[in-house]
Amino acid sequence: MKDMEESKAKVTWAHPEVHDRLVLLKYLVDSVLESSPVIKEADAVAAADAASEVSYEKAIKEHREECEKELKSASRKKPGEVDLAVHRDACISKMKKDMGAAFSERMEDVEKKDVGARIMPLGEDRYGRLFWRFPLESCIYVQTTATTKDFPIVSKPKVKLLDEEDTPKNTPTAAVIAE
């Protein structure tokens, strides 16, 4: 409570200015982030992520070793028994498929854990447009601002929302109609 009393003394509570509100908000957020429960939770999340990464790397290594063993055993057989090139291609395609499945599983786990605690743009292109990806969405949004340089501004498309019965299955619920 002592910290709150100090904050009250610093701010005019009748009509606090925006700057004073932001200072108070920053103080409160910093206090919460420095608390031991939040630090413990952050450490637990970091440990779980590290364990997930180790598990993924282990699965990838196992798939590579399995393919290597199969190729070694095939190379030991008599020359006429097995077509080594065909066996190698089949083994490599199986390994790639298994590794892709492991990667997809890892990304699904990451997506499930992504709760949007921190949302930042993915990057910026040469025109100054920002690219965003939001949690639980598979699309990328492009933000064009007034400060965008040398980029031709296209008029905003009209959006027509379709009724549920008009919407075909496996299509988005909004149709864009160009002008």
In tens, the pLDDT along 79-96 reads 777 788 888 888 889 888
> Of 27, 97, 89, whose CA–CA distance to 59 is shortest?
97
- pTM tops 0.85: no
In whole angstroms, how far apart are CA 15 and each of 3, 11, 18, 26? 20, 9, 9, 18
The reported pLDDT for the residue numbered 76 is 81
